[in-house]
A and B are shown apart, each in its own frame.
Chain A
Amino acid sequence: MTPPHPHHPEPAADPRARLRRAIEHLDHVLPGQAPILNFVHHNTLHGFQHLPFETALEEAEKVTGIHAFWPEETFRRHFAAGRIAADELEAALDARAELDPDESLAMAGDTPITRREVLRISLLHGLEALTPAQLIWRIEEEGALRHVHPGVTQEPRTGRTSSPLPELWAACLDLFGLGEFRLHPEELLDLSQTQAETLSLRSRDGAATGVNQAMREHALARVEKDAADIGQGLSLGEWLRRLTGRDTLATVRPLLIRLGAAHLDEGLAAWNPPERDRGLWASFRALAARDANWLLAELPGAHETLAALPEDPLDAILAALERLGIPDLRREGYLARIALEIPGWSGQFNWRHHQPRYAANREAPADLADWLALRLTVDGLWLSELCRKTWALDARLDTLAAYFRANPCEYLARAAYHAGELPEYLATFARRLLADTHLQRASLESWRGLADLIWTWQHSTETGRGAHDGAWRIFVLAQHLGLSAADVQALGSTQGGRLLEVLDELSPTQRGMIWLSAYENHYRDAVFAALRENRGRGRWATRAARPEAQVIFCMDDREEAIRRHLEEHNPRIETLGAAGFFGVAMNWRGLDDAEVTPLCPVVVAPAHEVREIPRPGAEQTRLIHDRRRSLSGALNRLFHQEIRRNLFTSHLLIDALAPLVAPLLGLRTFLPLALERFARRIGERFTPAVPTQLALTAADDGKPATPEAPRLGLTDHEQADRVAGFLRNTGLTDGFAPLVVLAGHGSISRNNPHLAAYDCGACSGRHGGPNARAFAAMANRPEIRELLAQRGISIPPDTWFLGSEHNTCDEEILWYDLADLPASHRPAHAKLVVELDHARRWSAHERCRRLASAPRRPGLKQALRHIVGRAADFSQARPELGHATNAFAVVGRRSVTQGAFFDRRVFLISYDPTQDPDGKIVEGILLNVGPVGAGINLEYYFSTVNNERFGCGSKTPHNVTGLFGVMEGASSDLRTGLPRQMAEIHEAMRLQLVVEQTDEVLGAIYRRQPAIQELVGNAWLHLSAIHPETGELSVFAPGTGFVPWHGKPHTLREVEKSPDWYAGHSEPLPPVLIRQPDLLLTRDTSSPPLEKGGRGDFSGDPTRQGLKIPPNPPLRKGGTGDVLYA
């Protein structure tokens, strides 16, 4: 394993200390996912984040074997759909300075063939080498010699005519000296004299004296190579699987998972393992002697090994590694290898290991060393049984390597057979020989005979640059280049070889990068063009006229639509965006909560606790509420736990409850929404809601609050700090509307283990409503207003703050503390409620377009009903689509983005550069938003490009485990990452972070902040600047700095309302301008100086006349033909 981290442990004398450090080091390669209830998006490759993106993905692929780009077919599909243009692909190729794209590789007649041409063809059409069987298929079934290769557009090069394909094919074969090529290797059953001679010559690499000798040398080299790979790319178990076909891991895994899961369980099992509080290893030691598995599996040496288990897991690891004969230097790599064979479970142990304060650790401390010790010990038992049975040898690396050095033929034959690469006639032979091994009858000679046959077969088909490799690729390339047979002949083997080399020149990572950059740039240019066009159109650059209301949403990309619709509906409302904890990091304890929940970004440890308490006079209701709640809680426990847990009482319960449950189940399935509403009504009746308020304010005792000694409530000064800080961050320091609403968000759905992944990332995967509520309560206090005025923020006395929560799943909006709303504000609030209701209907409407099971072109009512019904439906695997398609983030005034349609793909963070000349504020925002945005975006990226390995696959077979994760079925690895249902329509690209600030300020921040250097300098996210005054866009290029962006001239259409643009479309849509109403409040007074030519002057441009555009305009929209919706 290549150490992915610079802090490489130094060699130390004490093997235990070294081992411990190696184990700590695994944190960089294991999945870092928290228990699923606290799901927080993070960079899947967080351990590689110190490396540049491209290098990191390459390193990760080396360690984990996972290619972290979309497959090229996906990119090609996007290319065909117009989501990547030919010139963009070429630009991405040219951007790689090391390639020298103009180099002439060969001459076709008088025209040179450049590297760019060859690489472009290879990217667009693949041109991978085929296997012999594929070549047969292509030629015989697909008629590759009769039909031109699909996608060939190239005319024959000037002055030449194209040749018939068979002629071209013959020329290509000739190029590689394959005159007497045979398509079918079976024709080789009996070698003719000439065939044998050719083959014999070809298979000898010069040095060896005979064929048999050459084969032996080859086999020996393979033994050495594979043996050296143990602890790098291979574990002993995997090696033996390749040689015997028996997968010991498949046997061992369920046993390990049983023990590991029993240890980590957070409340599902009623009965926990003994000695659990002393760790998994202690618990295993207590159970091992009582376990009959070893006996029944007839494991040799099991008794001795288990009787002498050392007390310390580190000693156990050392002893096990010793037993397996893993050399000292490779131990670290070996640990990583076996940990990565069960990455999810190893990762969970690792996560708990690194979170000592995690509540479940109190009962069951988790240490990765325990898990590894268990794994190695149990592994060792089965490996030794396998080796004893097969070769009567110990399962030791050195012993096995020595044996194979003495028996290279057996090695070669076994490896070839179990890799499944042998044709039937050889496989039969091999199978018989393997059966004989069992009877100890196979002799050295028969292995040798088989190995010879395999060698012959291999060399009849795989002669270096053979037909399926060399000739085929040149054949296809020639068609794309428009070469004739004569041209190919003229190439000669040198130039032909050169072309092949160039085809292979790009590593898979480089190819992925080229495609990805082209794909990202295509979308970036569309967005930038929209930002440029929108310049001077957006409202609220300043607040010369007082807005009617201000609504502050979370920065979440899902809120873009509701904001847009709200503003389209009432242009006098201003919307803002900010991280959804609204600057109030707190431990929250709701009325019914037994414990506190931290509501803040996951990196922050709150120092304050805020409680929800009954309002004065509600004590009686509280009593009833509590009594009824504990009753319904008991019923809930009865149904969900006791019926499952017990035997005889369950019998009675089941018999009694079934008549009730049967119709309920029917309703839940067929009328989920009706049942949901009914149940809610009953629930409200039964458990009366208690009017509550927040216990928010604490007396100042002069001591600072810390996470270790949290304060109950916040002092006046602490409150003022938070309110002022937040208002400054968002630039809301003047022009306060009469109503300022803070809208936190969360997501509620029925049957969804990954629920937390849909919640607010800025609140550690919880709901942000309480933060909004707390903020509003603080900002309404006269004491705080006074303190704020002293700090230069004067909030008019007629401004009222209100907290609320937006449910992104069913679009419901919940209001807090309406009882405190002054009567004077009630009409304004009532009006706002109606307007928000309108906006959420449109938001639901817009969401429907991307949901396959939603009605096409629904009415407003119908759309909302569908969205609400979806959230209530327990059969729905896609209650909402989460952050799918998130692609960029804008930090700046709403005027930058307001007026354009961004398809719910943009994080919007309010920030006013005019109030922040030195960049202090934006520095703080970037430090917060950068990691949060990149975390969400990168998790989606990786879960999309390889959902099977980086994500957790389809939800359908998921099985909730230990209340902290999901498995597939009952004994699989713990699945981490996002389920396919969340990521399937995502467009995998890195986040484009656009900041409304000057290059200089941003450059200075970049130089100051290592965290930003890591993210931006390593290209995990792209940073761009939009100049606050000129509106010029520039892109940060790592190593170069900001480079001005000059996109192609691009005139965007303007539509009346966003539905005019999206209605009837289910594919991703590029940005478009939305007509700004004439009653613009801010245009005359507050628009920053416009560029010459007057972009603000709408009169000259007929497309901006606000003409009603037909609902489905006959325009070219990007990405049509690629219907990616859920």
Chain B
Amino acid sequence: MPEILVALIPALPFLAALLIGGGAVTGWLDGERCEKTTGRIALGAAAISFFLALALLYLRSTNQIPEQMELGTWLTSGAYRIALNFRADAPGLALSLVGSYFSLLVARFSVNYMHREPGYHRFFALLSLFGGAMNLLALGGNATLTFMGWEIAGLCSYLLIAYAYDRDTASRNATRVFVTNRLGDAGFVLGIVLSFVWLGGIDWPVILDHAAHLTPVQATVVAGCFLLAAAAKSAQGPFAPWIARALEGPTPSSAFSYGAVMVHAGVFLLLRLEPLFEQSPPAMALLAALGLFTALYGFLCGLVQTDVKSALMFSTLGQVGLMFLACGLGWWTLATWHMAAHAVLRGYQFLSAPSLMHQTLGRRTRPVAPALAGQRALYAAALQRFWLEPFLDWLLVRPVQNLSRDLEAFDERAVNRLVGLPSPAVRALSSLAQWEEQRLGALQRAQHVGSAPGLFGRSTQTAAALLHVFEERWILHGVSHGWIGPGRRLGHLLNRLEQRLAQPRYAFTLVIILLLAAT
């Protein structure tokens, strides 16, 4: 019974998302006249889900239900089994409660705020989906379920940032955010795999209980993987820039995802994995360093922000950085409370952001101390957000892009030809100019000498054609230009190859290849 209750907390919003999404696709929910229905579905699901979360909190705190609950088996394959189970520990309850509370509030807020927006139904479907995902993430009893919630939430955030997908900036930023987050997911997946291999299971209790048996190196590696995931989701350290790009969506979705709930998912993951991290001092140190760096980064950048949403966002970064720092220092309970408290408060601030200038009328933000105000270099750095994004672009993105382009060209020119993939039809197309030249007899092109069936016939034909080309190109044109051109071109080609190989990305690739070959 309690398992079903827990399962309903994420399941109801998912169901609402399915209903609204399905309704919008089939045309059952369409346009302004159906806004009420959509709003009611989303609001109803969120409300029940919130009250169930409250009930869960009560039952858990009075110890009427166990921490880990199992509903059934999701899938099995030999020794490999993933259960459909749930976990109601302190961080999970905190996140679930905050998440479903905000689902409810934001849904209510959006009924008025999003009225008559072209994507009304889409917005509510995403909102519900996102609410369900956050609850699944928080309450999932094994790493895979949590990861599912994690991924769906990421997808929703992508779709919400790109809510106004007709605006260039919005869709570009959404894509960037999405891609950045996928790096963290890689860490999560690797963490799951390693847990399975080294700890013998992916249920949270297994991971947490067996963590003590890991060697320090193993613990550090597993913790590192999850840390990567957490840092990406909570925009810590090098991942910080994505969150400033996530403000393109409507105000309520910014409040929900980045102010209140999703940005805390990384912290939640750390909190849940407390025993694992405790096994690895290096991971703890890294955690603290990352947190401290982000806190300072968020604080300094926050001081120079001139728009409300960015200012709130950087402030959020700073606070989430402090949560990471607290975890790194082993103050887990403090971090849990801070997470829940911050979510509520920041959510409020985001929702009321449009009226900030009326609420602070006449009073400006307290200026920084004169000693800091005079630091021009630091100001430049803060204003440009410590160049984190251009730096990462320069370090990673652009080299990878160039490499991929070169590979594509290589595919196109060498691989496709070797494999014999058909070339685009365009080669068969004739242009007016060609036709005209042909008509005037000016087109110089290898003509088919004749046609003959069979292998013998065809090879003869090919040979004849080749001879024709040879004759025309190399003998008739002779020394005049025919010989020199190709020779020079070959030289250029070799030169370029050499230049290219001298570039860092190729040098780097070569080194990697050599290393791989050596091992």
Chain A residues at the B interface, C-beta cutoff of 8 Å = 36-37, 189-191, 196, 199-200, 203, 210-212, 215, 247, 250, 258-259, 261-262, 264-274, 286-287, 290-293, 296-298, 425-426, 428-429, 432, 435-436, 438-440, 449, 452-453, 455-456, 459, 594-595, 633, 636-637, 640-648, 650-651, 654-655, 657-659, 661-662, 664-666, 669-670, 750-753, 755, 852-853, 873-878, 954-963, 967-972, 981, 984, 1126
Residues of B contacting A659 with CB < 8 Å?
341
A273 to B304, CA, bound (A): 8
Decide if B470 is an interface residue (CB 8 Å cutoff): no
Cβ contact within 8 Å between B244 and A970? yes
Assess the B306–A261 pair: CB atoms within 8 A. yes
Comparing B151-159, B216-224, B433-441, B472-480, the segment that makes contact with chain A is B433-441
In the complex, the answer to whether B366 meets A453 with C-beta atoms within 8 Å is: no
Q: Are B363 and A641 in contact (CB under 8 A)?
A: yes
Q: How many A-B residue pairs have CB under 8 A?
A: 326
Contact yes or no, B113 A875, CB < 8 A:
yes
When distances are taken between beta carbons in the complex, the residues of chain B under 8 Å from A440 are 496
The segment out of B52-60, B382-390, B453-461 that lies at the interface is: B382-390
Find out whether the CB atom of A200 lies under 8 angstroms from the CB atom of B306.
no
Judge whether B408 is part of the interface by a CB distance below 8 angstroms. yes
* CB-based contact B433/A750 at 8 Å: no
Q: Which residue of A lies closest to B298 (CB)?
A: A647
Q: Which residue of chain B has the shortest Cβ distance to A753 in the bound complex?
A: B354
Q: Which residues of A have CB within 8 Å of B32?
A: 852
Q: Which residues of B contact A984 (CB under 8 A)?
A: 116
| Contact of B352 with A by CB under 8 A | yes
| Interface residue stretch chosen among B134-142, B195-203, B420-428 | B420-428
Whether the pair A452, B432 counts as a contact (CB closer than 8 A) is: yes
Is B359 in contact with A636, judged by CB distance below 8 angstroms?
yes
Q: Which B residue sits closest to A250, measured CB to CB?
A: B168
- Per the bound structure, the CA–CA distance linking A258 and B379 in Å amounts to 12
B 331-349 to A, binary, CB cutoff 8 A, 1 in contact else 0:
0000001101110111111
Are B408 and A189 in contact, CB atoms less than 8 angstroms apart? no
Q: Please indicate the chain A residues that have their CB under 8 angstroms from the CB of B307 in the complex.
A: 261, 268, 959-962, 967, 970
Asked if residues A959 and B432 are in contact (CB atoms below 8 Å), the reply is no
B358 within 8 A of A: yes
Q: Do A459 and B308 touch (CB < 8 A)?
A: no
Q: Decide if B315 touches A287 in the complex (CB within 8 Å).
A: no
Binary contact track B230-265/A, C-beta < 8 Å → 1, others 0: 000000000000001101111100000000000000
**Chain A residues positioned under 8 Å from B337 (CB to CB):** 655
B63 at the A interface (CB under 8 A): no
List 8 extra interface pairs beyond A642-B366, A669-B108, CB under 8 A: A269-B311, A272-B373, A459-B432, A647-B299, A654-B338, A877-B112, A960-B357, A963-B360
Q: Do A852 and B376 touch (CB < 8 A)?
A: no
Q: Which residues of A contact B471 (CB under 8 A)?
A: none
B391 at interface, CB cutoff 8 A:
yes
Chain B contacts with A in 347-383, Cβ cutoff 8 A: 347-349, 351-368, 372-374, 376-377, 379-383
| In the bound complex, CA of A459 to CA of B32 (Å) | 45
Q: CB < 8 Å: which of A426, A751, A962 contacts B355?
A: A751
Q: Count the B residues whose beta carbon is within 8 Å of the partner chain — how many? A: 111
Residues on B with beta carbons closer than 8 Å to the beta carbon of A644: 302, 311-312, 315, 349, 365
Once the chains are docked, how many angstroms separate the CA of A215 from the CA of B362?
65
Contacting residue for B306 out of A196, A662, A962, CB 8 A: A962
Best-surrounded residue of A259, A425, A650 (most CB of chain B within 10 A): A650
Complexed CA–CA distance, A273 and B380 (Å): 8
B429 in the interface (beta carbon within 8 A) = yes
Whether B405 is near chain A, meaning CB under 8 Å from some CB there, is yes
Instruction: Check if A958 sits within 8 Å of B251, measured CB to CB.
Output: yes
Taken residue by residue from 92 to 129, chain B's Cβ proximity to chain A (1 for < 8 Å, 0 otherwise) reads as 00000000010001001111111111000000000000
Is B429's CB under 8 angstroms from A651's CB?
A: no
Cα–Cα, bound, A263→B342 (Å): 31
- B168: chain A residues at CB < 8 Å are 247, 250
Q: Could you tell me the distance in whole angstroms from the C-beta of A418 to the nearest C-beta in chain B?
A: 15
**CA A665 to CA B390, docked complex, whole Å:** 38
Q: Given the complex, which residues of A lie within 8 Å of B109, measured CB to CB?
A: 669, 874-875
Identify which of B168, B250, B307 gathers the most chain A CB atoms within 10 Å of its CB.
B307
- Whole-angstrom distance between the Cβ of B462 and the nearest chain A Cβ: 23
Q: Give the dominant DSSP class at B's interface.
A: helix
Sample 28 A-B pairs with CB under 8 A, ordered by A number: A190-B429, A250-B168, A258-B383, A261-B306, A273-B379, A297-B390, A436-B409, A440-B496, A455-B431, A455-B433, A644-B312, A651-B338, A654-B341, A661-B344, A665-B348, A751-B352, A853-B115, A874-B351, A876-B113, A956-B117, A957-B163, A958-B354, A959-B310, A959-B353, A960-B354, A969-B248, A970-B307, A970-B309
Minimum CB distance partner of B489 in chain A: A441
Partner of A212 from the list B380, B381, B382, B433 (CB cut-off 8 Å) is B433
Interface presence of B190 (CB below 8 A): no
* Interface check B133, CB cutoff 8 A: no
Known: A452-B433, A644-B302, A956-B113. A435 touches B408 (CB 8 A): yes
Residues of B with C-beta under 8 A to A267: 360, 363-365
Q: Are B433 and A215 in contact (CB under 8 A)?
A: yes
B363 surroundings in chain A (CB, below 8 A)? 267, 633, 636-637, 641
Q: Contacts A210-B433, A293-B390, A655-B337; is A453 near B112 (CB within 8 Å)?
A: no
A270 to chain B, nearest CB (A): 5
Separation of A666 and B101 alpha carbons in the complex (Å) = 9
A291 to B429 Cα, complex, angstroms: 52
Q: Which A residues touch B347, using CB under 8 A?
A: 665
**Complex interface: chain A residues within 8 A of B244 (CB):** 970
10 nearest A-B residue pairs (beta carbon): A267-B364, A658-B341, A969-B248, A956-B250, A452-B431, A290-B380, A296-B390, A452-B433, A875-B109, A261-B306
A874: chain B residues within 8 A (beta carbon): 109, 351-352, 355
B289 part of interface (Cβ distance < 8 Å): no
Cα(A708)–Cα(B383), bound, Å: 39
In the assembled complex, B180 has its CB within 8 A of some CB on chain A? no
Closest to A193 in B: B435
Question: What are the residues of chain A within 8 A of B344 when measuring CB–CB?
Answer: 658, 661-662, 665
Most B C-beta atoms less than 10 A away, residue of A190, A661, A970:
A970
The CA-CA distance from A239 to B300 in the complex, in Å, is 38
| A429-B426, A644-B311, A876-B112 known; A286-B431 Cβ under 8 A | no
Q: A425-B424, A662-B344 are in contact. Are A271 and B367 (CB under 8 A)?
A: yes
Provided the pairs A189-B428, A290-B380, A643-B349 are in contact, do residues A211 and B433 lie with their beta carbons within 8 angstroms?
Answer: yes
Q: How far is the CA of A972 from the CA of B368 in the complex (A)?
A: 27
Minimum Cβ distance to chain B for residue A771 (Å): 20
Interface centre among A37, A659, A751 (most CB of B within 10 A): A751
Chain B residues, CB < 8 A from A287: 376, 379-380, 383
User: Which residues of chain A have C-beta atoms less than 8 A from B70's C-beta?
Assistant: none
Name which residue of chain B comes closest to A254, CB basis.
Answer: B169
The answer for the CA separation of A259 and B318 in the assembled complex, in Å, is 22
Question: Which B residues between 17 and 73 are near A, CB-CB below 8 angstroms?
Answer: 32
B424 close to A429 (CB less than 8 A) = yes
Taken together as a complex, chains A and B put the C-alpha atoms of A37 and B379 apart, in Å, by: 28
Q: Does B175 contact A (CB under 8 A)?
A: no
> Which listed residue (A200, A272, A286, A962) contacts B435, Cβ 8 A?
A200
CB < 8 Å neighbour of B360 from A191, A640, A650, A968: A640
State whether the Cβ of B189 lies closer than 8 Å to any Cβ in chain A.
no
**Chain A residue contacts of B245, Cβ below 8 A:** 970
Tell me the complex Cα distance, A642–B360, Å: 11
- Are A852 and B384 neighbours in the complex by a CB distance under 8 Å? no
Interface assignment of B319: CB less than 8 Å from any CB of chain A:
yes
In the bound assembly, the distance between CA atoms of A266 and B362 in angstroms comes to 10
From known contacts A200-B432, A291-B380, A435-B405, infer whether A969 and B354 are also in contact, taking CB-CB under 8 Å: no
Whether A969 lies near B169 (C-beta < 8 A) is yes
Q: Within 8 Å CB of B382, what residues of A?
A: 271
- Chain A residue at minimal CB-CB distance from B102: A665
B384 touching A456 by the CB < 8 A rule? no
For B366, the chain A residues whose CB sits under 8 A away are: 270, 637, 641-642, 645
